[in-house]
Amino acid sequence: MDLNEHSAIRAVLSGDTEAYRGLVVRHSPTLLRVALRITGNEADADEVVQEAFLRGYQKLPSFRFKAGFGTWIYRIAVNCAFDRIGHRGPDESQDTTEDAEWIQERLPDLDAGPERLLLSKEMATQQAFAMHALTSLERTAFLLRHVEDHSTSEIAEALGMAPNAVKQAVFRSVQKLRRRLAPLRGKI
């Protein structure tokens, strides 16, 4: 564990509430990124991060210095995000058009012509639909593994699951995405 984090936690536990600010600043970008990936919405992601840090502050006396603070607060944020979305399965209520636009903004333009731009937009829309066809657990496991590049053991710890269960969730998500996106293979 980082000695600065260790010192900050000890300071907070001793009554220095300002010491928590450094932990918040350090870990906010990571928590916001995972919250956005789980909730699919910036406003919800902001609220998840705030809730995670509030819960973390309230539970700090129970923090065991075995794991790093980052891992601990990350798990709290994942749980808050799941609480926010109701830990539901495939979610047709979320706006996949908004998600497709979010994906489209991140695809390289490369001075593409109108046909290529239209195809890219169609692909982004199909990717968004495919992601929403996954359960929240599958979507989260996939994003943490293949987008955030976390190890299986890190994901297992963050989600409070056995590593084999994480592997199965990632495998299922990849298989579902492959089936759902197979028609796009010939268009690329």
* pLDDT tens profile 46-98: 999 999 999 999 999 988 877 788 888 988 998 898 888 775 444 444 444 44
Chain centre distance of CA 87 = 13
Q: What is the DSSP letter of 163?
A: H
Domain boundaries, the chain: 3-85, 96-187
User: How far is it, in rounded angstroms, from Cα 149 to Cα 142?
Assistant: 9
CATH topology classification for 3-85: Rna Polymerase Sigma Factor; Chain: A (1.10.1740)
User: How far is it, in rounded angstroms, from Cα 24 to Cα 20?
Assistant: 6
* pLDDT tens profile 6-52: 888 989 999 888 889 999 999 999 999 888 888 888 899 999 999 99
Closest CA to 70 of 166, 176, 142, 148: 148
What's the pLDDT score for residue 159?
A: 84
Instruction: Give me the CATH code for the 96-187 domain, please.
Output: 1.10.10.10
* 136 residue type, one letter: S
What's the pLDDT score for residue 119?
A: 58
User: How far is it, in rounded angstroms, from Cα 168 to Cα 138?
Assistant: 9
